[in-house]
Amino acid sequence: MDQFAILASERAGFFVGWGTLSLINAGIAQGKNRSGLAWWALSLLLGPLATLILVLLPKVRAKLF
């Protein structure tokens, strides 16, 4: 197996994990009445840090009117 194939296979797992984490963060955000799309995009940049921020943020209250 050549060097490029080994490097590509190692990085593939990283990207799959990072992408899965971003989808999980979008679900957590929607559960807290926040924008899932915005948090998905933010999670692609921040990764686990975005998860920590989401867990620490309180749930947004629904508007009365």
Amino acid at 27: G
* pLDDT value, residue 38: 95
Q: Does residue 45 belong to any structural domain of this protein?
A: yes
Does residue 2 belong to any structural domain of this protein?
Answer: no
Q: What is the pLDDT of residues 11-36, one digit of tens each?
A: 777 888 899 999 999 999 999 999 99
In-domain check, residue 4: no
> b or e along 26-42 (b: 16 or more beta carbons within 10 Å of the residue's beta carbon)?
bebbeeeeeebeebbeb
> Looking at residues 6-10, what average pLDDT do you find?
65
Whether residue 49 lies inside any domain: the answer is yes
User: Is the predicted pLDDT of residue 4 greater than 90, yes or no?
Assistant: no
Structural domain boundaries, residue 33: 16-55
Task: Summarize the confidence of residues 38-57 as an average pLDDT.
Answer: 94
Number of domains in the chain: 1
Q: Are 32 and 21 within 8 A, CB to CB?
A: no
